[in-house]
């Protein structure tokens, strides 16, 4: 079955004119859209996309309203406008044209499409990955992190992960391919919505700016379910995948990764869970500790019947993978490295 649709389309020449005229004026455009002036004055702010608390900086490096997040990468001024106003791309261009007092020439286009849906990028990458095996770079990487147990089905390996990076002149994207670890991110109902990718080269982190990236738009309240919940009703939460797997090995409880520290507070516990342990990071800047306790407070407020506690490594600047690695080297117990509240 085929479906014919039509829509208004801004001509490419008009798009080029808008983007050309907007160069160097993105600060004014974004302020008129309601952007907080703080983003133009301060670096390392909370990212509007992934909500990482100290990762986002507005640079305007190429005069295109450029910004960069250490977790989710490069964003243009148009991207930021779309985020602020909840616009699609065409609506963002219309807004910019009005601000710049430019005429808009739109054309009506027709498209005949088949009614079956095309697979999303998330589904394409997941389908192209495979179960972890001993010969995979992802398997070697996890073993190098001191992890000894079998790895769950939520983790898969890829022999060809695309990595996109803005070219030096800022005019195009450079693409390269690496091996990688692919993790399934599911929402509170257990549906796959996003993927976490770790780029690797022969079992080690690849030589790229952002070794870890999230593919997909949904993250809030989601998690990488690295183990099944059991009859004990205890579930651990950690920020990163390696940290979650490490905490599970150290304490013998199922632990899920919430991917980003801010996501502790958005977590939706399964009905079978009666106790949650947040395995936070002991960051030197105290952000990991802050987010762990904020998450515990939020979960407790929403679910007063659930027991919630926070556990942190004693050593400043460490996480639970560091503790596991140290234990593997010294054979000291995890309890000696524990601060419990």
Domains delineated in the chain:
2-111 (3.90.580), 119-218 (no CATH), 219-341 (3.40.1360)
**What integer pLDDT is reported at residue 123 of this predicted model?**
93
HSE toward the beta carbon, residue 262, CA cutoff 13 A: 13
Q: What is the pLDDT along the chain (341 residues), one digit of tens a residue?
A: 454 444 557 778 888 899 999 999 999 999 998 988 889 988 889 888 877 788 889 998 888 999 988 877 788 999 999 989 888 888 889 899 999 998 877 665 555 555 556 788 999 999 999 999 999 999 999 999 999 988 999 999 999 999 988 777 777 788 899 999 999 999 999 999 999 999 999 999 999 999 999 998 778 899 999 999 999 999 999 999 999 999 999 999 999 999 999 999 999 999 999 999 999 999 999 999 999 999 999 999 999 999 999 999 999 999 999 999 999 887 644 444 454 44
Contacts of 171 (CB under 8 A, 6+ apart): none
C-alpha closest to that of 205 among 255, 260, 242, 151: 242
- Interhelix angle for 320-330 vs 241-251, to 10°? 50
CA–CA gap between residue 238 and residue 241 (Å, rounded): 8
**What integer pLDDT is reported at residue 4 of this predicted model?**
47
| Distance between start and end Cα atoms, the chain | 60
Contact between residue 192 and residue 224 where contact means Cβ atoms under 8 Å apart: no
**What integer pLDDT is reported at residue 7 of this predicted model?**
55
Contact between residue 166 and residue 174 where contact means Cβ atoms under 8 Å apart: yes
**What integer pLDDT is reported at residue 279 of this predicted model?**
98
């Amino acid at each position: 079955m085929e479906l014919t649709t039509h829509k208004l389309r801004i001509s490419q020449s008009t798009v080029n004119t808008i983007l050309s005229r907007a160069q160097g004026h993105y600060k004014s455009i974004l302020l008129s859209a309601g952007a907080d002036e703080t983003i133009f004055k301060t670096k390392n702010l909370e990212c509007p996309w992934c909500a990482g608390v100290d990762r986002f900086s507005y640079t305007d490096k190429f005069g295109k309203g450029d910004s960069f997040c250490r977790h989710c990468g490069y964003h243009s001024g148009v991207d930021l406008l779309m985020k602020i106003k909840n616009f699609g791309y065409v609506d963002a261009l219309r807004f910019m044209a009005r601000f710049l007092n430019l005429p808009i020439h739109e054309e009506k286009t027709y498209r005949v499409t088949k009614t079956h849906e095309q697979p999303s990028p998330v589904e394409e990458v997941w389908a192209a990955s495979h179960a972890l095996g001993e010969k995979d770079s992802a398997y070697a990487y996890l073993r190098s992190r001191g992890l000894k147990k079998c790895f769950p089905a939520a983790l898969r390996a890829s022999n060809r992960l695309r990595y996109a990076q803005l070219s030096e002149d800022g005019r195009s994207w450079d693409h390269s391919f690496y091996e990688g670890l692919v993790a399934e991110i599911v929402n509170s109902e257990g549906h796959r919505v996003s993927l976490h990718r770790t780029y690797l080269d022969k079992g080690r982190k690849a030589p790229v700016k952002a070794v870890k990236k999230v593919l997909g738009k949904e993250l809030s309240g989601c998690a990488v379910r690295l183990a099944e919940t059991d009859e004990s009703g205890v579930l651990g939460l950690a920020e990163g995948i390696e940290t979650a797997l490490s905490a599970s090995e150290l304490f013998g409880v199922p632990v899920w990764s919430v991917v980003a520290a801010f996501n502790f507070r958005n977590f939706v516990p399964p009905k079978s869970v009666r106790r949650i342990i947040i395995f936070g990071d002991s960051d030197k800047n105290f952000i990991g500790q802050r987010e762990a306790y904020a998450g515990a407070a939020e979960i407790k407020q929403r679910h007063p019947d659930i027991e919630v506690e926070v556990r942190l490594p004693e050593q400043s600047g460490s996480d639970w993978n560091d503790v596991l690695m140290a234990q593997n080297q010294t054979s000291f117990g995890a309890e000696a490295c524990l601060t419990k509240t």
